[in-house]
Amino acid sequence: MLVKVLAAAIQGINATLVTIEVNALRGIKFYLVGLPDNAVKESQQRINSALNHNGLRFPSKQIIVNMAPADIKKEGSAYDLPIAIGILAADEVIKSDKLDQYLIMGELGLDGKLMPIKGALPITLKARDLGYKGIILPDSNAAEAAVVNGIEVLGANNLIQVIKYLNNELEIPPNTVDIEKDFYSKQSDFPFDFSEVRGQESVKRAFEVAAAGGHNLIMVGPPGSGKSMMAKRLPSILPPLTLQESLETTKIHSVSGMMPDSTSLITQRPFRSPHHTVSSVALCGGGANPKPGEISLAHNGVLFLDELPEFSRDVLEVMRQPLEDRKICVARASYKVEYPAGVMFVASMNPCPCGYYNHPSRPCTCSPGQVQRYLNRISGPLLDRIDLQIEIVPVPFEDISNTKPGETSAEIRKRVIAARKIQEKRYKNQEGIYCNAQMTPKLITEYAALDETSLAMLKTAMNRLNLSARAYDRILKVARTIADLDNSENIQFQHIAEAIGYRNLDRENWGT
């Protein structure tokens, strides 16, 4: 008997329909075709054990399983359940009248228990888009899949439950998720707050400007000055995720297998901080079984690279295109996938190998050549994509010992959200432009025009500070954000002055 069971394969962060065709004929052999990897081929042993453990038997017939389309590589153990259901239906143990209504995925344990799978959310979205009635998957993935409206999500604990449901012997209630409770109620629950930061008021202001305009930022300062501490608190002042952004972020974490059990949505902007030993593949994605990298896992959030010069040159140069295009295309001989990479890039570094160049009280032991070589590890093209360059000095004892709490993240976030709303209205007709950091040269000319006084000041600063030409557009973008924070329609003299102050680490001034 020939039966068909519907499943799915993950490509990038999206799903593709896979039809599992099972034919039971006279004979004793088992054939699995359709470009399966080793994990899929091993499903026969898991299925056999699961059936025997639950009082069923593997058919004493020739079983041919074809996974169509055959030119797409099938990876992982999530095909155990649909293959098992197909085999039992071909052996007429399961009625096949429901199989064309549901997409089925799940990994089988040796005792028939259903184990969680990767990519439950994109698979469910695909099932809904194709018009299927529902999806059957492990119960531990049901909360994640249930955020998709317009489709039944049936979570099962074991193989027997699925068999009885398909034979109309058991009802499995569809899972539902309260989006209001699971999403909106958790958007302001942060482990870190800017009120815990002592001193560094100018740096806090720079973080506020960066958050308000979506600007990339780099901090240069000695050890212990608070660089990592403030970077970890950046998500607490960023605007909350929209539901669409949450779905995008959840899809990426879902296909990476990084969703916590029984979690329905990623409710806060991601903060990723890979170690400096990270490889270029781990950062950008790919591999033998392609997965999103750290850049994509930070999509709609913050990618923080601590001690930037310690990262290998190849790893840093990989970031140049994703930071500009907000996506990354991974092409290999056997596949080509595209991952989103809309991140806010934040970096920190010491000013020299010993860490104390320009320190107010501790002497630097590095020669000028060593300082310059250390700073030259950061290439000009990468630095070109960083709008705010901040020099941090150690916190004075008076500020460290001050027990009075500083301004909270919630207060800063209100101003950031107000500025983002101005930008949202400004760019509502500009596709793919959501904040000032993404302005094109045409938009800069239109929305960042300067009066004569401000233009003269910018010209003077460019000449006196020996700023590079690439700094010009960055200054105008940052000035536009500062004006938005002041609710000013036009960029004024003080906005340009503050924006210029955030370029005091432009390469030609470093180490001099």
Q: What pLDDT is stored for residue 198 in this prediction?
A: 80
Residue with tokens 């000041």: 457
Any idea how long the chain is?
A: 512
CA distance 133 to 172: 14
What local confidence, expressed as pLDDT, does residue 36 receive? 93
Q: Please, which residues bridge with residue 64 across strands? A: 23, 31
Q: Would you state the pLDDT for residue 403?
A: 65
pLDDT at residue 321, as a whole number: 87
Give 153-167 as a DSSP string.
EEEESBHHHHHHHHT
Residue 452: strand, helix, or coil: helix
Which pLDDT value is given to residue 368? 86
Q: In Å, what is the CA distance from 249 to each residue of 35, 145, 328?
A: 29, 14, 15
Amino acid of residue 443:
L
Q: Give pLDDT, residue 507.
A: 47
Cα–Cα distance between 403 and 47 in angstroms, integer?
62
- Report the alpha-carbon distance of residue 245 to residue 260 in Å, rounded: 18
Contact 43, 80 (CB under 8 A): yes
DSSP 68-122: ESTTSPB-SSTTHHHHHHHHHHHTTSS--SSTTTEEE--EEPTTSBEEP-S-HHH
Handedness of CA 62, 67, 71, 76 (dihedral sign): negative
Q: What is the pLDDT along the chain (512 residues), one digit of tens a residue?
A: 899 999 999 988 999 999 999 999 988 899 999 999 999 999 999 999 999 999 999 999 999 999 999 988 899 999 999 999 999 999 999 988 889 999 999 999 999 999 999 999 999 999 999 999 999 999 999 999 999 989 999 999 999 999 999 999 999 999 988 777 777 777 777 888 888 888 788 899 999 999 999 999 999 988 888 889 999 999 999 999 988 899 899 999 999 988 877 678 888 899 999 999 999 999 998 887 788 999 999 999 999 999 999 999 889 988 888 888 889 988 877 778 889 999 999 999 998 898 888 787 888 888 888 888 888 888 878 887 889 999 888 776 566 666 677 789 999 999 999 999 999 999 998 888 889 999 988 999 999 989 888 999 988 888 887 777 777 888 999 999 999 999 999 999 999 999 998 886 664 545 54
